[in-house]
Homo-oligomer: A and B are copies of this chain.
């Protein structure tokens, strides 16, 4: 199995509901350094998993819909805690939609799966792994 990963980041404000979150129930923020990994069983004729330029652009486009915002105000997250885990799934699912729509090129139909990791600090991160 092969994989390619590209890294970008987003900077958001949000708050959480639920006693388990302690002080994070207050409005605060985070830089999420985001790693998007694309997996594929065999390489294409060019010797790649995916066009890394396109992968980078699509990740940037997905993060552009989230960054520099207060996620508490985003309709897409109404009634949902925007935890690091939830945001991993959001980014992975939106990348999967774009892959299905052809944004990563024809070869992206051969992708086996996507994993998205969000680093919230130097001591904590989360991941979500899905098939395509």
Contacts and interface: CB of A to CB of B under 8 A. Distances in A.
Interface of A: 1-9, 11-14, 16, 18, 20-24, 26-33, 43, 46-49, 51-53, 56, 67-70, 80-86, 88-89, 105, 120-129
Q: How many copies does the complex hold?
A: 6
Contact of A86 (B7, B43, B124, B126): B43
A125 B43 CA distance: 15
A123 B6 contact: yes
The 10 A-B residue pairs whose C-beta atoms are closest, nearest first, are A29-B29, A13-B13, A47-B81, A13-B29, A23-B68, A7-B123, A31-B31, A28-B68, A47-B83, A27-B70
Contacts of A51: 20
